[in-house]
Structure 1
Amino acid sequence: MSKHPHYELLNLIGYGLAKFDDTFIKEFQCSSKSEFYRYIVSLGVAETTGVVKNRMDLFDPYFDNNRKGWWQKAEVYRFRKDLIDTMFGNEDVHSFAEIVKMLLASEGKKIGITTIEKPIVRTKFKRLQETGMEAENYFIHHFDKEEKFQGGQLTDARLYGDGYDFQVDVQEHSYLAEVKGIRKPKGRIRLTAKEFEKAKEYQSDFILSLVTNLDDIPKLVLIDNPLNHFEFEKNVIKNEVVEYRSLEDLY
């Protein structure tokens, strides 16, 4: 299944419809969901009104709105809600609608509604679109369903930039988990120099955690000692480092 060109934006719209119901569409000056669906289609975000409604159906099972939606696949697609919760879960209906309006406008959609540009929203949306962010969020919510990590305690190490994303402590044993996302059922990955060295140092305690098929139904695959299972080719990339230094002492 190919990823919709407005995948993330449609997810936000579906989330807003499911969570806030009619109060969400009123923020767009629409009096009914049908009118709102047509409005989104007119902006070129969706091909048909059914596409918009289906995205609402996907998120309906997670909110108390008297609609069942796609309850049969609630666990399968929960990762999409979890990801949006991470970025925008604390917003009220007005703030969330303003975020959607701003993102629509930033993509060149003539929404006919005045919006206020907020850089942090654009930054969050950019992160929402990144494969790595999506994969890491999926791992956080599903790692303990894997036999190797059952009962484990997760420690986030991403800010340290030391060659792995998480430490998972299972009883007295510590594993280092490096998460990589793949949009399709299979694909290639890259390891940074630090990640490669950590994999070489920790061997079977270094767990390459692949989240595959992110464009559809993700699957978490754990591979211990990845350097023993796969061949990696060294690729030296030379980047120009640009910095700006002050020409005088600051205070």
Structure 2
Amino acid sequence: MKTIYCVEDDESIRELVIYALKNNGFEAKGFECADDLYNELQFKLPDLIVLDIMLPGEDGYAVLANIRRNNSTKDIPIVMLTAKTSEYDKVKGLDMGADDYISKPFGVMELISRVNAVLRRSIRLEDKQSLISIGNLCLDEKRRIVTVSEKEVNLTFKEFELLHYLLKNKNIVLSRDKIMSEVWETDFEGESRTVDVHIRTLRLKLGDAGKIIQTIRNVGYKIGG
């Protein structure tokens, strides 16, 4: 169940938003001001925040800026609520990193529709960011799937970890010792042959796509592309 926070000082509007969200299958919590939101963010991060601009003390623009500056919260989707109708106010929020806005007064169905749309975009972006592709080879970090020409390749746990490490360090020459340390989490000398065996098996399973794994004589390996 997706969790949504609503920051709105008007109690009647806040309760309406919370009711509508819960009635549409969301877990929802309401907050009157920025400080209440910040306190909750220390315990749990939501999937989306509905944020009013006109708040007591720190306004919605300042809250938005703080959330986008913080590494732990910067990717949370935010829908702004605003009683302001000028184009400038709407553009300002979007330029500062808001994902969408809703002008007051608004209908419940519009609110739910916009929230769902922002969540869908966020999920698609997360999925896209979890993919690493070179040529016809694609590694999905999130689902731990590797495909070549859209056909899934069956890799062992360590083969996946090895390929993932090489792909993340594209065009960087990695020594066998470095690979052992990062993938096998050991620096025991003499075990570097383990890397060679896994590279050979990996190339075999990847077929023509395995050519992107290059041997650097007397050093180790790298992925080019």
* TM-score interval (norm. to shorter): 0.3 to 0.5
Higher Cα Rg: structure 1 or 2? 2
Name whichever structure is richer in strand by fraction.
2
Report the TM-score when normalising by structure 1. 0.31
